[in-house]
Structure 1
């Protein structure tokens, strides 16, 4: 969703609202084998990123690092007051992996969702075998909740487990 959301500043990451000008570079990042393996989005990744930016239920922010676009982080929310919470999804250019940028981006957005927008709980759901993502989210303060069996279909056509993780307002450091 193209929104009027403010720019957020982490220790290393800058999270700014995505614009249509970001579509080509985000599609290029999504096309890298490491990102495509978990994000996919069909054959036309320009259309997939365009759809992400046009989704009224999702806010997409560009992750900038050292003045360059390094990926995207998205969030959405369950608005039913009895179940209200936010969810996060992220992808990063493999060229910037291993620098703590993902942890910083996730922590920065989670803090905004809890502190500024009043969510008491934020969830994220990596593939159960994505140890790098799980390590990243754990460093950001998320805790495992449980395995969601046969949660998503992989690029090989078979179903794979997901790990539900959450961060509660009281868990913020």
Structure 2
């Protein structure tokens, strides 16, 4: 994670804490990303260095990452996230996305954020809508469908700074 990111800071949400990943997180994150309900939407990353660990009560339950477009004409940031299956449906992903979005807007100065779940990932889309993300359009054959090995459509969603809920 470069110095312009969250660095060694912790970002506190309502229930979760986001912090840079450390070497000790890797076995847990590797196990989580291989859970069938997570692996349906994620491949195993080469490394977790550019991710923030998502903690609940001090335990790693997933990871969230972001990237930034720094060209002043197109400046924005994008977010991606995964959480262990046992914590799905509890609002923790929403809390993590909202926490990172708040930091990207208020600390990093982004006016627009994007997120791009698979069209078939209804739970993720519902979660992102609760943060304030709105559908922009369908990106056809956008990413690998890890369930079938083929291509899946993605839903481009964005959030303007004044829409953050």
Q: Which category of TM-score, normalised to the shorter sequence, fits these structures?
A: over 0.9
Pairing partner for 2:116 from 117, 125, 131: 125
Give the structure with the larger helix fraction: 1
Number of equivalenced pairs: 161
Gaps of 5+ in 1: 42-47, 54-58
CA–CA distance in 2 between the matches of 1:109 and 1:22? 19
Q: Which residue of 2 aligns with 1:39?
A: 42
CA–CA distance in 2 between the matches of 1:7 and 1:40? 26
Task: Give the TM-score of the pair, scaled to structure 2.
Answer: 0.93
Q: Which residue of 2 aligns with 1:104?
A: 95
Task: Give the TM-score of the pair, scaled to structure 1.
Answer: 0.89
**What secondary structure, in the 3-state scheme, does the structure 2 residue paired with 1:134 have?**
helix
Q: Which residue of 2 aligns with 1:168?
A: 160
| Deviation (angstroms), 1:2 | 6.5
Aligned residues of 1:2 and 1:17 also touching (Cα < 8 A)? no
Pairing partner for 2:12 from 9, 12, 21: 9
- RMSD after superposition: 1.3
Q: Which residue of 2 aligns with 1:18?
A: 21
The yes-or-no answer on 1:84 pairing with 2:87 is no
CA–CA distance in 2 between the matches of 1:76 and 1:101? 21
